[in-house]
Amino acid sequence: MGICDGRVVIVTGAGRGLGRAHALAFAAEGARVVVNDLGTGPDGTPAGTGSPAAEVVAEIGARGGTAVAHGGDVASAAGAAGLVDCALDTFGRLDTLVNNAGFLRDRMLVNLEEEDWEAVVRVHLTGHFLPLRRAAAWWRAEAKAGRTPTARVVNTSSGAGLLGSVGQGNYSAAKAAVLGLTLVSAAELARYGVQVNAIAPAARTRMTERTFAEAMAAPAAGEFDAMAPENVSPLVVWLGSADSAGVTGRVFEAEGGRITVMDGWRPGPTADKGARWTPAEAGGAALGLLAKADTPLPVYGAE
């Protein structure tokens, strides 16, 4: 018996890395898991044959768990619909959606092609929105039928979405937008029994190992592997369980053994003239306020 015993959980991008770790962790806690993965390379292009989703399903089965593979594109309406329908047709219900799928196409802004901008925003942002919309429609219907669910959504943002990251304008923008989507959906869906939270994880995956090769290196034998994806999954499983009742619209950083609640934008120093400022007055007021404000954290990769 685990904290997700009997729940049905979807994890997107679950063939490798963080998604695989989440899927295995949910199954270990008693969940029946829909393992989604399109099977692409780290940049979203086709990557050979075989199904990483099927491999994870087999791994869950070998450990005594229950799972089913789904290979659809979650950033398409048809793929997102098929994903939710897969959970409903196979297991008869859906309790938790973990939006995790994504890939990178890093470039400095002046070299960033429109195609690479759109591809990254599509998978990270639209790939969150479409499965969430489909799942929310089913949960709303359940609530209106008198069967209010204990539903959970865990979205995946990033430190790049919180602070920005040099060379990752497309990824940073998409991950920042995921935070906005999280806040809005948490407010809109609460009446239907749905809680929505986001994580900003740091771990060794295909997406990070080239960008942060030195920091992401595996430790010596016997040492705690602070960058293992499995370190992030316990928080995700808890957020996806009924035990997280009352927690919604929040953002957590998770890395190694550290969990941090992120506060987000809050009003800082304020000046109110009570009338319209001149440009010179507005500038003077702004400089005075900046002198009182906290210094912002640096963008990742900035000198």
pLDDT for res 269: 97
> Residue 238 falls within a domain, yes or no?
yes
pLDDT of residue 214: 52
Predicted local distance difference test score (pLDDT) of residue 156: 98
Instruction: Give the span between the Cα atoms of 119 and 110, in whole angstroms.
Output: 17
Q: Quick one: pLDDT at residue 50?
A: 74
Helix (H, G, I), strand (E, B) or coil at 69: strand
Question: Looking at 172, 175, 192, 241, which residue is catalytic?
Answer: 175
pLDDT of residue 207: 61
Which contacts (CB < 8 Å, 24+ apart) does range 110-117 have? 112/169, 112/170, 116/170, 117/169, 117/170
Q: Which pLDDT belongs to residue 153? A: 98
Predicted pLDDT of residue 48: 66
Domain-located, residue 267? no
* Bridge partners, 253 (sequence order): 200, 260
Residue 192 appears among annotated catalytic residues: no
Q: Is 158 an annotated catalytic residue?
A: yes
B/e letters for 143-167, b = 16+ CB within 10 Å, e = fewer, are beeeeebebbbbbbbbbbbbbbbbb
Phi first, then psi, for residue 34 (nearest 5°) are -95, 115
Check 157, 165, 171, 192 and give the catalytic one.
Answer: 171
Half-sphere exposure of 161 (CA within 13 A, CB side): 27
CA dist 118 and 124 (Å) reads: 10
Q: Judge whether 287 lies within some domain.
A: no
Q: Which residue in the list 158, 172, 241, 244 is annotated as catalytic? A: 158
Q: Based on the structure, what is the number of domains in the chain?
A: 1
Is residue 299 situated within a structural domain? no
195: CATH: 3.40.50.720
pLDDT digits (tens, 9 = 90+) for 228-250: 999 999 999 999 999 999 999 99
Domain that holds residue 37: 8-262
Cα separation, 241 vs 213, whole angstroms: 33
> What pLDDT score was predicted for residue 208?
60
pLDDT tens for each residue of the chain, 303 residues long? 899 999 999 999 999 999 999 999 999 999 999 999 998 888 778 776 679 999 999 999 999 999 999 999 999 999 999 999 999 999 999 999 999 999 999 999 999 999 999 999 999 999 999 999 999 999 999 999 999 999 999 999 999 999 999 999 999 999 999 999 999 999 999 999 999 999 999 988 666 655 545 555 667 777 889 989 999 999 999 999 999 999 999 999 999 999 999 998 999 999 999 999 999 999 999 999 999 999 999 999 997
Q: What is the pLDDT of residue 119?
A: 97
> Cα separation of 31 and 6, whole Å?
6
Asked if residue 202 is part of any domain, the answer here is yes
Coil, strand or helix: which one is 192?
helix
Question: Is residue 285 one of the residues assigned to a domain?
Answer: no
Query: Residue 68: what pLDDT?
Result: 98
Is 175 catalytic? The answer is yes
Question: Within a domain: residue 47?
Answer: yes
Residue 140 in domain: yes
